[in-house]
Every structure is written in C-alpha cells, then in structure tokens.
Chain A
Amino acid sequence: MAVKLDHVTFSYNVSDAYRVDALKDLSLQIEEGTFVALVGHNGSGKSTLAKLLNGLLLPTSGDVRIFGNSTLDPDKIYDIRKSVGMVFQNPDNQMIASIVEDDIAFGPENLGIERQEIERRVEWALSKVGMSQYRKQTPFKMSGGQKQRLAIAGVLAIMPKILVLDESTAMLDPKGRSEVLKVAHELNKQEGITVIHITHFMEEALNADRLIVLDSGRIAFDDTPEEVFKHYEELKAIKLAVPWETQLAISLKKVGIDIGEGTVKDEELIDNLCRLL
C-alpha cells in the first residue's frame, strides 16, 4: 500500500486554548499507481493531510505509513521524503537556482548521487515535463505553468513513487493549469507514479481514478468522480460545487430535459444534446 493512514488526528496548538483539530480520526489507504484527486473547502484539512504524507507534520495521534514505513520512525523519515515528492502552490517560491539544470540537480546532489547519474536524471526529468529545451535557461522569466512543470521536474529527479500536488494549479492561467495536469496524468500512466492532486477546481477531478472529499478534517466522500458528483446538494452544503457541465445537466434535468449526468466527456455531452434538440 503506497499510503496508509490509520486513525490519524492532527491538531494545531495541541496544548492551549486555541487547539484546532485539522484532521479527526481519519483512516485512508491509497494503492500504488492511483491518481487521486483531493478536494475540500478552505480549512478542511487538505494541506495538513499533504504535509503528513512526507513527515513535514507528524500526527498528534494515529499513524501515517508510506510503503509500510511510519513517519514517526526517525530512521525512515529520509526514505519517506525520497518517495513522497511535494509541489506547492506558488511557483515562485520553489526555485532555488538561477539556471534550470542546477535547480533540477539540487535534490539528487543533496542525496550524494554521483555526477553522471545526476546528469541522466536531470535530462530524464526535464523530458518528462516537456521542458528539455530550457535546460540552460533561467526560470525567472518563465510562465507560471512552466515554473510549476520545473518544480515537478525538480521533484522527479529524486525519483519519488508518490507525487503530491498541493494546489499546484491554483495560481496558474488556464493554459498553465492544463499543462501541469497533463504532465501529472502522463507521469501516472507512463511511470506508474501515484499522484495525489489537491485542487479547488472540480473539473480537474473528473479524470482522476478516485475522488476524496474532505470536510472539517473528515472524509465526506471517497469514490469515483462520477459517483461523488451525483451528490451535488451535499457537496454544496460543504462549500464545494460540481463541475460546470454537471451543474448544467442537473439544472436541465430539474425542468425535465435529461442530457445525462454531465460527468461525461465533452463529445458525449454534445451527442446527448444533439439527440434531444
């Protein structure tokens, strides 16, 4: 099992009056190779969950295991951090070098990997995110989408088995968002990397294998996106929504025009409309 959370509670300010339970007795298993979308309102515990996965935070109670290793075990924490790569929201905060290849090499260099292997990994990681031609350039003048793809490449150079995207598309324009999403799906399909994609854009969850919905530190839904999006009233009650097309289908169904569930591919939606109109 790639990820296993066993009755995990995490509280900020444990000892004082401002104690906040960000995650409450949460249990969860993620199989290797799955593409998981994780959604939830602001403050639902998504980012806390992400940070628990590589030991940036340790559970107040319960146990987080990555490929069987507990994040509470100090001897295993470096193995865990090698296998769980994280990409955060702001592309500008994740660049450390002024030349792309130096930036990608930073991770493996710190693992004491020999030079030839680093070279190979830099080349591979850049090709995986479609940025090979930028190897000798500076990242600072690039678009947000390009910077995020570089951030992913920097993580890939450590050869992680799990990639956590913590709202990595939030600050990007639509083009940048689709670039990053495409790279994440390719890594999942071609390299078998387990992807945990945290997002506020419901439509980004549509192509995931599994959609987990958090609400106030607990799991509210955990199913395929198609199934979860059927519960639009409940989703609204926890400050979420359904994708635009799904909302369209729901609104039309209410007045008696049935164009399906609206969680299907665009062409299928058009087919359904054509049949009716």
Chain B
Amino acid sequence: MPIIVKKLSFTYSAKTPYERKALNNINLQINEGDFLGIIGHTGSGKSTFIQHINGLIKPQEGEIEIFDIKLTPQKRPKVNLRALRSQVGMVFQYPEYQLFADTVEKDVAFGPKNLGLSSEEVSERVRQAIEMVGLDYEAVKDRAPFELSGGQKRRVAIAGIIAMRPKMLILDEPTAGLDPYGKEQILNLIKYLKTHCSPTIVVISHDIDEITRFANRIVVFNDSRIVYDEPMQQLFKHSIQLQNMGLDIPRAVKIANSLRDRGIDLGEGIVTAEDLMAAIVERYNQKHAAQIDKEACVFDMYDFSQKWLTSEERAELEGKPNVEEEADAPKTVKKNKSKENDKKQKKSKRKKE
C-alpha cells in the first residue's frame, strides 16, 4: 500500500491572530495503481496535503505512511527524506520556473546525481527520462532550457523528476498556462508515465474536464476536509453539492443534467465527452431508427498516441521491423535499430508539425 494517511490535521500560524486550519482530520488511502484526481477550490487544503506527502511539511497531528516510511509529529526517529522524495516525485505548478542549469542534460541530471548514483547510471537515467517525455535526447541535451518552448520546458522539468524513477508521481496543475496543444501533450505524457514510469499518479487540477479524462478516482477537498472520495463515474451524483462548493462539474455532466431537467434521460454515469456522445448517438438511433456507430464518433482533439508509445509498441503497431528477421540478430543491434527507427519517426512527426 503506497500511502496511508491517518487523522492528519494542520494549522497555519497556530496561536496567532492569523491562525487558520488548513487540514482537519484527513483520512485517506492511496493504493498502488491509483490514478487519483484531487479537486477543491483555492484554499481548500489540497496543496497543504500534498506538501505533507512529499515531506515538505511535518505533520502536526496524525500520521502518514508512505512506502514504509512513517511521518509523525515526533522528532525521532529521523525520517529519511531523501528516500521519501526519490520515491514520491513531485511536479509543482509551473515547474519550468525551477529549471536552473545551463543545459537540459545537467538540469535533468540534478535529481539522480543527488541520489548518489554512479555517473553512468545518472547519464543512462537522464537519457531515458528525456526520451520518455517525448524529446529527442541528442537534439536537446546541450541546449539551454530557456531556449525551448513553454511546453518543452515543462517536459524537461518533468524529466528531471522522473529521472529519479519515483514509484509515485504527484502533479500540481500540470497544464496551467499552456496552449491547447501543449496541454494535450502533457495529458498524454501523464497517461504514458502511468504505464511506463510511475504506476501511481496523483493530479491536482482546477480543470475538471481534464481530470475526468484519466482519473479513476476523485477526492474532493472543501474547507480543510475531504468531503468526497469516490470512483470517477460516481462522483457527479453530487453535482449540486459540488457546485455549491464553487467547483466546476464536467461539461458533459452539465449537458446531461440540463437534458434530464427537460425530460430527456440519457442514463447514469455520463462524465466525459465520449460518454455523452455515445449516449446521444444511442438515443438518436432509437428515435430516428438510425444506425450510427457509436465508435465512429470521436472527440478528436490532438492525437499524440503515437508519440508516447515505446519504440517496440510503435514498431508493433506499424508492423515495421520484421520480428523474424531480428530474432537471430544480437540483442544490442536490435536495440539500436529500434532506437534509430524511433528517431526517424520522431523526426517525420516533427516535420508534420
């Protein structure tokens, strides 16, 4: 079990006139494999909460257990914060503001270097991390991070975190300030990291339509407490309560609710655009005796699915490098080949862009 939080409370500026309770008796269990979304308006306690998980704030009351590391209000035994932070990777809001080195490579290497790894291990991890976020290692490694575009800078910053190979990744407003294209890239990257890097992911976002695209569970903070902790499909039964807390509900839910008010019930569990379209198509088919294929209806924003595949997956999809042919070849050659392939495809992709 990666994270168990018990009876956690926290007060800012305690015993002063500015005293403010930020967390009030929080109990939460984050399981391995969770894709957890955290929502709540500004000041609801969600940031204070994630700062606890990363060991940036020491608990005042209650305790947290993270991968066998225990955080308690006690001073002893001393907590191994380095071990904690290498297991829980934290991507803050606007992480690109924290880039500091003069080359991308050095910047990404900072984290793993501080873990005390050998220099070979560090450079291997750096290369992998940069490629994992969808950048061309050779092309960007010697460039100054500041020369890159906003979305690229953010991906370099994320590479710096995943180079530490955290078991769990926490991202605070990962798409804030990006253009629609940059947003889609980051969302696809997060999905990719879930399967290929950190199996447990927590995302904090104000954009509910973004969270519902990947979360399988949503936790709602309000007034320093957790008020809902539900599977994504279930949460929006509480639409009215959520809206009263000043929170947005997904647009698909809004439309389904308005239609229900007008006597058209599209059924339960509509959360995403895809859900809504499938329900609309079904109802339309019934009423007009039409036979529109639900699957044919796609909410097509940008398609990055290709970009975030591993070279093997991509090869399989395109059926390109002949597996039989390569079966006899030495392993290293195979690796190189697929890497070359990888680069070529990335290049051609870039040209298209």
A residues near B (Cβ < 8 Å) are 40-43, 89, 141, 143-144, 167, 170-176, 200, 202, 236, 239-241, 244-245, 247-248, 251-252, 254-257, 266, 269-270, 273-274, 276-277
Given contacts A252-B297, A277-B287, contact A244 B277 (CB under 8 A): no
**Minimum Cβ distance to chain B for residue A49 (Å):** 15
Q: List 30 A-B contacts (CB under 8 A).
A: A40-B179, A41-B180, A41-B181, A42-B151, A42-B178, A89-B177, A239-B179, A239-B180, A239-B181, A239-B182, A244-B251, A244-B273, A245-B251, A247-B299, A248-B251, A248-B277, A251-B298, A251-B300, A252-B281, A252-B297, A255-B292, A255-B293, A256-B290, A270-B255, A270-B258, A270-B262, A274-B262, A277-B259, A277-B266, A277-B287
Residues of chain A contacted by B131 (CB below 8 angstroms) = none
How many A-B contacts at CB < 8 Å in the complex? 111
Closest to A271 in B: B262
Contact B209 A202 (CB under 8 A): no
B43 within 8 A of A: yes
B284 / chain A contacts, CB cutoff of 8 Å: 257, 276-277
Nearest CB on B from A169, distance (A): 10
The distance in angstroms between the C-alpha atoms of A64 and B191, with both chains bound, is 45
Band of interface residues on B: 35 or more
Majority secondary structure, B binding face: loop
- Whether A270 pairs with B149 at a CB distance below 8 angstroms is no
B52 close to chain A: CB less than 8 A: no
Contacts of A277 in B (CB 8 A): 259, 264, 266, 280, 283-284, 287
CB of B276 closer than 8 Å to a CB of A? yes
Q: Which residues of A contact B43 (CB under 8 A)?
A: 143
Q: B316 → chain A, closest Cβ, in Å?
A: 27
The 8 A CB mask of B240-260 against A (1 = contact, 0 = none) is 000000111001001100110
Partner of A241, one of B259, B280, B287, B301: B301
Bound: A255/B296 CA distance, A: 7
- 8 more contacts with CB within 8 A, not counting A176-B42, A266-B258, A277-B287, are A43-B149, A244-B209, A245-B251, A247-B299, A247-B300, A256-B292, A277-B259, A277-B284
Q: Which of B286-345 contact A (CB under 8 A)?
A: 287, 290, 292-293, 296-302
Partner of A247, one of B18, B41, B151, B301: B301
Q: Kindly list the 4 A-B residue pairs having the minimum CB-CB distance in the complex, ordered from nearest.
A: A239-B181, A241-B180, A42-B150, A41-B179
Residues of B within 8 A of A176 (CB): 42
CB-based nearest B residue for A251: B299
The answer to whether B206 touches A240 (Cβ under 8 A) is: no
- Chain A's closest residue to B246 (CB) is A175
- Residues of chain B with a CB closer than 8 A to A240's CB: 179-181
Q: Which residue of B lies closest to A175 (CB)?
A: B246
B259: which of A144, A257, A270 is its contact (CB, 8 Å)?
A270
Q: Are B206 and A42 in contact, with the CB atoms below 8 A?
A: no
Q: Bound complex: CA of A247 vs CA of B272, how far in Å?
A: 13
Q: Given A42-B150, A176-B42, check contact A170 B181 (CB 8 Å).
A: no
State the Cβ distance, B74 to closest chain A Cβ, in Å. 31
| B255 neighbours in A (Cβ, 8 Å) | 269-270, 273
A66 to B284, CA, bound (A): 53
Task: Compute how far the CA of A257 lies from the CA of B285 in the bound complex, rounded to whole angstroms.
Answer: 10
Given A173-B206, A252-B297, A257-B281, residue A274 in contact with residue B251 (CB < 8 A): no
Task: Kindly provide the distance from the CB of A167 to the nearest chain B CB, expressed in whole angstroms.
Answer: 7
Q: Are B297 and A251 in contact (CB under 8 A)?
A: yes
Cβ contact within 8 Å between B177 and A274: no
User: How far is it, in angstroms, between the C-alpha of A274 and the C-alpha of B273 when the chains are bound?
Assistant: 18
Report whether A200 and B179 are in contact in the complex, using a CB–CB cutoff of 8 Å: yes
A221 to B269, CA, bound (A): 39
* Residues of B with C-beta under 8 A to A171: 176-177
Whole-angstrom distance between the alpha carbons of A170 and B248 in the complex? 16
Per-residue interface assignment for chain B, residues 138 to 163, with 1 indicating a CB less than 8 Å from any chain A CB and 0 otherwise: 00000000000111000000000000
Closest residue to A39 on the B side, CB-wise? B179
What does the 1/0 interface line of B45-76 toward A look like (CB < 8 Å)? 00000000000000000000000000000000
A248–B301 Cα gap in the complex (Å)?
Answer: 10
Q: Report A37 CB to chain B, min CB distance, Å.
A: 14
Tell me whether A170 and B273 are in contact (CB under 8 A).
no
A269 to B255, CA, bound (A): 9
| B149→A251 contact, CB < 8 A | no
A151 CB → nearest B CB, Å: 16
Closest to A177 in B: B206
Q: Which residue of B is nearest A146, CB measured? A: B42
In the assembled complex, the Cα of A244 lies from the Cα of B254 at a distance in Å of 12
Q: Which of B176, B182, B251 contacts A42 (CB 8 A)?
A: B182
CB contacts (< 8 Å) of B281 on chain A: these are 252, 255, 257
Residue of A nearest to B250 (CB): A244
Write the nearest CB–CB distance from B148 to chain A, whole angstroms: 10
**Complex: how many Å from CA A269 to CA B179?**
26
Chain A residues near B299 (CB, 8 Å)? 247-248, 251
Please state if A247 and B42 are interface contacts (CB–CB under 8 Å).
Answer: no
Q: In the complex, what residues of A have CB within 8 A of residue B283's CB?
A: 277
Who on chain A is nearest to B292 by CB? A255
Tell me, rounded to whole Å, the shortest Cβ–Cβ distance linking B221 to chain A. Answer: 12
Q: What residues of chain B lie closer than 8 Å to A274, measured between beta carbons?
A: 259, 262, 264
Question: Which residue of B has the minimal Cβ distance to A247?
Answer: B299
Contact partner of B178 (CB less than 8 A), chosen from A173, A200, A251, is A200
